[in-house]
Amino acid sequence: MKLLDKAFRLLGSKGARYGVPAALLLAMTALPFFLDDYALHVLWNAMFYALLALGLNVIVGYCGLCDLGYAAKFAIGAYTTGILMKSFGWNFWLTLPMSILVAVITAVIIGAPTLKLRSDYLAIVTLGFAEIVRITARNLPITGSASGLNAIARPSLFGLRLTKISHWYYVFLVLVVIFVFISNRLRHSRFGRALAYIREDEDAAQAMGVDTTRYKLYAYMIGAVLGGVTGSFFAVTMTSISPGSFDFTQSANILLAVILGGMGKIPGVIAGAAFFAIFPEIFRDVPIVGNMRMLFFGLLLIVVMITRPQGFWPERKRG
């Protein structure tokens, strides 16, 4: 385990800090020329989870709030885009600002009353809210009730209609870069330090003059916006969305990806999400192990949690 920490410290050193991500990005850009559609789809799925995990990381990793209903944020984005495109004939790119706006409004509605309290209450409210969103979506005619919204049009970008998985691979790669940039800037800003303070000791933060309720609400809003934007892109990539995609398991998976990867650490969170998306697929076609892969997956999660309770690649505490 010490070896792992040493490796991570090496990756965090000055030379590697920019070199390794750049090399990785270059490799990811080149991959579609070598891989088939299925492999690209698996990688797309990994990036999709990485986006969700990065969004949740702002709430859970940076601010230390417990959100058990992140699927609702991403459902709201997906449905906002879906409804505006299907029922009102909007262009996809115009739905993005709306999706952000709706995410902010819902975050304020949920966050404003609960974030004044200790974070445990947020966990319960978010859990309940996620169920409300899912069940509402299942029963309203405008959300297509249980069968959801189908045949959502594929958008165009600079005249190119995005239909192939390789197109979406690049779109999501760009999104990951943007999300990483945002997360990174947040982390190293005054705002990010305030969030870390709240996470470590809320009372002390308040005593030092940090307006904890307001900062927590901002963190929650940013997390919701990132989730909403991811949801919007999810809707047009899949071309159909249904309440089944936004159940509690989805929320739990995203949360697990963040915790498993290492809360607050951007590469850790991405690694956690990638692991979550890729692991079950890789072992699918391996004989014998294939049928029991979810069992091994569970065991591996337990092993990681026992040997590295702070996550696979945790944030290093500064002295």
Partner 1 sequence: MRKHAIRYIAVLAALTLLSSVFAGCGKTSGGTEAEKPITIGVLVPLSGSEAYYGNDMLQSYKLACDEINAAGGVLGRKLALYEADDGCDPNMATQAASKIIAKGVDFVVGGYGSGATIPTLQLFYDEDLLMLVSCANSTDITKLGLNQTFMINSPGTHAVITLTELCKSLGTKKVALIHQGDAYTKNLSDICEKELPKSDIAIAKVQVMEKNTPDVSAIVTAIRNSGADFVYWCGYHADGSNVIKQLRRGGYQGNIAVGDGSASVELISACGSDGEGVYVTSPPFVEFAQGGEKFVADYKAKFNMAPGTYATLCYDTIYLLKEAIEQAGTTETASVRDAVQGAAYQGLSGMIKFTPEREPAVSNFIILQIKDGKFDLVTL
Whole-angstrom Cα distance, residue 202 to residue 204?
6
SS3 breakdown of the chain: % helix, strand, coil, rounded to 5? 75, 0, 20
Closest-CA residue to 177 (of 47, 62, 33): 47
Residue among 191 and 283 whose Cβ is closer to partner 1: 283
Whole-angstrom Cα distance, residue 46 to residue 3?
26
312 contacts 272 by C-beta, under 8 angstroms: yes
Residue among 204 and 292 whose Cβ is closer to partner 1: 292
**Least spacing, CB of residue 41 vs partner 1, in Å:** 4
Residue among 62 and 234 whose Cβ is closer to partner 1: 234
Residue among 36 and 203 whose Cβ is closer to partner 1: 36
Question: What secondary structure letter does DSSP report for 265?
Answer: -
**Least spacing, CB of residue 127 vs partner 1, in Å:** 15
Residue among 137 and 194 whose Cβ is closer to partner 1: 137
84 contacts 96 by C-beta, under 8 angstroms: no
**Least spacing, CB of residue 101 vs partner 1, in Å:** 26
How far from chain centre, in Å, is Cα 112?
Answer: 22
Locus of tokens 């417990």:
66
**Least spacing, CB of residue 252 vs partner 1, in Å:** 14
Closest-CA residue to 65 (of 255, 247, 270, 204): 255
CB-count exposure of residue 36 (10 Å: 0-12, 13-18, 19+): exposed
Whole-angstrom Cα distance, residue 253 to residue 39?
21
Give the tokens for residue 209. 């003059």
257 contacts 276 by C-beta, under 8 angstroms: yes
Provide the 3-class DSSP secondary structure of residue 163: coil
Q: Which residues bind partner 1 (CB under 8 A)?
A: 1-3, 34-42, 45, 135, 138, 145-148, 150-151, 163-165, 238-245, 279, 281-286, 291, 294, 307
**Least spacing, CB of residue 248 vs partner 1, in Å:** 11
Whole-angstrom Cα distance, residue 185 to residue 16?
18
Residue among 7 and 208 whose Cβ is closer to partner 1: 7
**Least spacing, CB of residue 187 vs partner 1, in Å:** 28
| Residue 91, CB-side half-sphere exposure with 13 Å CA sphere | 5
Residue among 148 and 268 whose Cβ is closer to partner 1: 148
Residue among 174 and 286 whose Cβ is closer to partner 1: 286
**Least spacing, CB of residue 70 vs partner 1, in Å:** 15
**Least spacing, CB of residue 275 vs partner 1, in Å:** 10
Closest-CA residue to 59 (of 262, 217, 274): 217
**Least spacing, CB of residue 77 vs partner 1, in Å:** 15
Residue among 206 and 240 whose Cβ is closer to partner 1: 240
